Amino acid sequence: MKKQRSNNKFLKIAAVSLALLALPPLAVYGQTVRCRAAQPRPALPGVMSDEIRLDPVAGALYRYGVQGGINRADSYWSDNVFTVLRGKLKQAATRGLLSREQLDYLLDRVAEGEAHTGPVQPENGSVQVQCYGCSYTGNIQTVSFRMYTVNAYKVTESGEMYSIDDETSIELMYLPGNGAFLQVGVLDNRLPTAESTPEEQVQAFLTQLDTTLDGSWEQTTTEDGLEYKHTSGVLRVVRYAPDEVDFALCVTLDPDVYGGLDTLSNVVIGPDGTIYTPGGEYDTF
């Protein structure tokens, strides 16, 4: 059993970012659940109208939330994953989500990671790299990259333990081709300072969504970061940033309209806090 010690900043942004992405390896890290017998799933509070179905972003998120599996991709892929990652980073920069300096830095880190691909036994100073793609219901694609250096490695009775340094994590969720980015997340405390303000970055993210829903975006108050709700009541965009460097942008179905439906993990939270899934009923404690 391998255990990792990370700083609080990483755990906080990872919890937000990975919960939105629903990545299988880490989605239930540190969570204890108790499973009971399967129960009928409660009716979803939202209905996919023609307007939602025809909107590229809202339609994809709705199909994923209703038809997708909990924390499970339809398929995983690794062929040309580094090429795809580089292309998507360049596309994000073209859309104003990354500055040129940030793009150049991340491309250098990706190139370094590509040179270290392959299984490596953890030991002090070893470089660990993970890079893969996922395909989800709703034709949603994700490409993920993580690279870090192992330090303070030791073997204990419970398994291997180590801390991590020099970390770069990139999470990109998007629709195929030149489709919209549904999430752009970067975790790296050495990422160059952005040329745009957080507000300008969010506006660029909203623009590239190119939603066809009737209405407009309005900023709302939140403790975690910038948040915008679409007046149609269908979509919500959040920019989470634990400091001046790391950030995560994400669009989801509006939870005020669609109840507790987690559109990226197919979970419905009941009024008593019980989590319902297609496979059963779970209590968190």
Beta-carbon neighbour count of residue 152 at 10 Å? Answer: 11
Q: How far apart are CA 92 and CA 88, in angstroms?
A: 6
Could you tell me where the beta strands, DSSP code E, fall in the chain? 2-5, 33-35, 75-77, 127-136, 140-156, 159-174, 181-187, 217-220, 225-230, 235-240, 247-253, 268-269, 275-277, 280-284
Answer yes or no: are the C-beta atoms of 225 and 241 closer than 8 Å: yes
Beta-carbon neighbour count of residue 123 at 10 Å? Answer: 11
Higher-pLDDT residue of 20, 104: 104
pLDDT digits (tens, 9 = 90+) for 151-204: 988 888 888 888 889 999 999 999 998 999 999 999 999 999 999 999 999 999
Structural tokens at position 188: 């790296």
Task: Quote the domain boundaries for residue 125.
Answer: 2-284
Q: How many CA atoms lie within 13 A of 179 on its CB side?
A: 19
Phi/psi for 257 (5° steps) reads -100, -40
pTM of structure: 0.75
pLDDT digits (tens, 9 = 90+) for 10-19: 334 434 444 4
Quick one: pLDDT at residue 52?
Answer: 84
pLDDT at 211 over 80: yes
Total of domains in the chain: 1
